[in-house]
Amino acid sequence: MGSKLVRGVYVPGCNHSPLPPLFYASLGLWQGTINIQLPKEICKTLILPNKRKEGVDPIDLNANQDFLIRRCRLKAVKGYQILPIDKTTNAPRGHHSSKIIEISLEEKIELKPRKELEVELKGFEE
């Protein structure tokens, strides 16, 4: 499986609902996401994660939501790209249509707003 690099800008605080702790814990992640605004010209299929993970927290069950996830790396720290989806229609939720990807890492890192970042997205067919 191959990797692809994407570049974007860190955008803090995208008005997320309360954090689902069981979901993050099930993946071994620090609880929270890093939002990265990608260039408008990036292909939406490139930023569509490739594995499905069932929503397990009350907020996910109430919202009828699962997640698409993809392994990634940011600043040498492993993590996942996370995209909430409608469990029934598979329609992406969150900020996917605005080309903002959400990354959650195994540990917390410090970032400055508007900082340019490079994310390695993993799991692409070669």
Nearest Cα neighbor of 4 from 65, 35, 49, 62 is 49
pTM confidence score: 0.89
pLDDT in tens for each of the 126 residues of the chain?
Answer: 899 999 999 998 765 555 567 888 899 998 888 999 999 999 988 899 999 999 878 777 778 899 999 999 999 999 999 999 999 999 998 877 789 999 999 999 999 999 999 999 999 987
Set out the domains of the chain in order of their start, with CATH numbers: 2-124 (2.40.30.30)
Nearest Cα neighbor of 34 from 45, 24, 48 is 24
The amino acid present at 68, given as its one-letter code, is L
CB atoms within 10 A of CB 82: 22
The beta strands (E) that lie in 41-107 are given as 51-53, 65-74, 77-86, 100-105
